[in-house]
A and B are shown apart, each in its own frame.
Chain A
Amino acid sequence: MTHAARRRVLPGFGLTMGITVLYLSLVVLIPLATLPATAFTMSWEAFRATISDPRVVASYKLSLGAAFVAAAINAVFGSLVAWTLARYSFPGRRIVDALIDLPFALPTAVAGIVLTTLYAPSGWLGAPLARHGIDVAFTRTGIIVALVFIGLPFVVRTLQPVIEELDPDVEEAATSLGARRMAVLWHVVLPNLLPAWLTGFALAFARAIGEYGSVVFISGNMPMRTEIAPLLIMTKLEQYDYAGATAIALVMLLLSFALLLAINGLQAWTRRRVTG
């Protein structure tokens, strides 16, 4: 059916499109546009001085570095969790499956205080670790722990459906041709999971870069050492340094958009792999 014919029969395109564009503009686009608009009121020198300040650079490095390590940890352990949920049967599987989304459902402030309490030197998990000389709370390790929690569902939920949809005939064919199970996994299964695996990693990484609530409690917030970029934006705002906050935020926003584009590309690749 052609566009014109469809449009004659179904009503409401103009109205719903109008609502969509108006609401999107008022709630999202105009507010977001204030960020580059405010940055353009700064001189280039002031902008560059802000974002090249050693404390700001340290916060970018920390946010990116900790997010990368956390996403890598999730990529490894999240794959095992996704494989377990998709391929093995065990009692309570549905409950475990539902629980995976806890980091989406639990407010980040709650995650922040509970992880801090658990990993503090006197906490359930922190005390035994401290006896072995490992400090978690109020260090960079603590930041990574919080970001692993936040990013966990992204890797599992991206991989799990792809594992479930893998065609068993392909594995069977490889097996019947004499391939050992581990060889089948390595040469047949893993290559098919690669796009989804990278997508999950990128989603967890992107989310972790901007994360605030779960990190501020456990990080200790020491300038140059455990101060993440979103917290530095908050600090600048509390000092009424709007220009400084805007400059730091604009760099993060551009980074997020670059990642969004990369993720869209990865997802298109995943779809081609799964359906093609």
Chain B
Amino acid sequence: MPILYLTRLEHFNAAHRLFNPGWSKEHNELVFGKCANENWHGHNFELFVTVKGSPSPDTGFIVDAKLLSKIINTHVIEVLDHKNLNLDVPFMEGKICSIENLVYEIWLQLEHRLPDGVRLHSLKLAETPRIFVEYFGE
């Protein structure tokens, strides 16, 4: 059976700041610059979710794209959209809100929620059109 990859693109708009509570205000500003602004700033984030599997002989699908969208929306987008990532998101509590940490936590939210026969292959999270991270579960 051939293995194929299917990608779903979702987006959310959120506020955040980069801040390490173990450091002084000055050291945070030195390392994170304007990203440490205590009153937050924000982005239009884009999340590319790629899953891997073989098409079902009955549907021709690896996974029903609508079902995949529903899983992503319920467990990730509704939790993050129009929120403050530092204050409002349980799975980011106590973590620095970099896109690196965020993409890893999103992986943990999705990995075990996919239907049988389909696996999470990669996540790509873009903070701006010019900065993005990728995670392959390693």
A and B: interacting chains = no
